[in-house]
């Protein structure tokens, strides 16, 4: 029987580093699953009147607002584009900025709204986030009880949902391109 050579110090360090990275990954996954379960349970146990957002639990209807206080109904009389985000999400800032660029190119084509899924984030924090990403023209709301992520079947941050004027989902994707959003708006009947 032959003996294998003893592991070098750098090999031992690499094994330890790998062990810790795997452990950290497991903790992150467990944390994400736990948070998702808590959100789903919260959505199931919430009463319709417990949210500051006006939402129809069955249809996903709600009213957002702009930083100027203007109300943005979803669905409204035209298609709607919803971006589900959190201030703490790294890719959500650029996605928000891109959505504002789509809005600037066709402001009357649709209602453009960002939906904050972190119920502990405040309106002033959201407004600051929107200003930072040149997106203050977008409507916003906070999904305080996970009814919107449930209604629109959102499972990841940076998900964009496009609705036609009747409120039917015609498109849903994580981190879609600007071209995909424009195509979805055409599909939704945007002029």
Q: Can you tell me which residue has the tokens 């959003």?
A: 181
φ, ψ at 72 (rounded to 5°): -125, 105
Q: Which of 14-23, 50-59, 155-164, 172-181 has the lowest mean pLDDT?
A: 50-59
User: Domain check: are 39 and 58 in the same one?
Assistant: no
**Which residue from 57, 105, 63, 97 is spatially nearest to 80, judged by alpha carbons?**
63
The alpha carbons of the chain give a radius of gyration, in whole angstroms, of 21
User: Domain check: are 32 and 92 in the same one?
Assistant: no
Q: How many domains does the chain have?
A: 2
Q: Give the DSSP per-residue string, the chain.
A: -PPPPPPPHHHHHHHHHHHHHHHHHHHHHHHHHHHHHHHHHHHHH--TTS-SSEE-TTT--EEEE-TT--EEEES-SS-EEEEEE-TT-TTHHHHHHHHHHHHHHSTTT-EEEEEE--TT--HHHHHHHHHHTT-TTSEEEE-TTSHHHHHTT--STTEEEEE-TTS-EEEEEES--HHHHHHHHHHTT--
Calculate the alpha carbon distances from 83 to 2, 63, 80, 93 in Å: 61, 14, 10, 11
Q: Would the CA dihedral through 141, 46, 54, 191 be positive or negative?
A: positive
pLDDT digits (tens, 9 = 90+) for 71-122: 999 988 999 999 999 999 999 999 999 999 999 999 999 999 999 999 999 9
State mean pLDDT over 160-188: 95
Band of the pLDDT at 43, cuts 50, 70, 90? very low
User: Domain check: are 36 and 98 in the same one?
Assistant: no
User: Domain check: are 66 and 147 in the same one?
Assistant: yes
114 versus 22: the higher-pLDDT residue is: 114
pTM exceeds 0.85, yes or no:
no
Give CA–CA dist 116/64, Å, rounded. Answer: 11
User: Domain check: are 71 and 23 in the same one?
Assistant: no
Q: What is the CATH classification number for the domain harbouring 111? A: 3.40.30.10
User: Domain check: are 71 and 32 in the same one?
Assistant: no
- Residue 3, domain member (yes or no): no
Range of the domain at 174: 54-187
Give yes or no for a contact between 175 and 91, defined as CB atoms under 8 angstroms apart: yes
A 10 A CB-CB count for 83 gives: 26
- What's the pLDDT at 14? 64
């Amino acid at each position: 029987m032959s003996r294998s050579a003893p592991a070098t110090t750098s090999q031992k360090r690499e094994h330890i580093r790998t062990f810790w990275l795997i452990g950290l990954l497991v903790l992150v996954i467990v944390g994400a699953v736990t948070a998702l379960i808590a959100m789903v349970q919260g959505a199931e146990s919430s009463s319709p009147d417990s949210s500051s957002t006006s939402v129809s639990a069955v249809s996903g209807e709600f009213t957002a607002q702009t930083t100027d206080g203007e109300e943005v109904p979803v669905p409204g009389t035209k298609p709607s584009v919803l971006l589900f985000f959190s201030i703490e999400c790294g890719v959500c800032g650029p996605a928000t900025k891109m959505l504002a660029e789509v809005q600037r190119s066709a402001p009357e084509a649709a209602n453009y709204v960002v939906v904050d899924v972190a119920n502990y984030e405040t309106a002033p924090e959201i407004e600051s986030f929107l200003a930072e990403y040149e997106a203050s023209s977008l409507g916003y709301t906070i999904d305080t009880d996970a009814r919107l992520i449930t209604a629109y079947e959102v499972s990841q941050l940076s998900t964009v949902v496009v609705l036609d004027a009747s409120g039917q989902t015609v498109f849903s994707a994580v981190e879609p391109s600007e071209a995909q959003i424009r195509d979805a708006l055409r599909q939704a009947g945007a002029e």
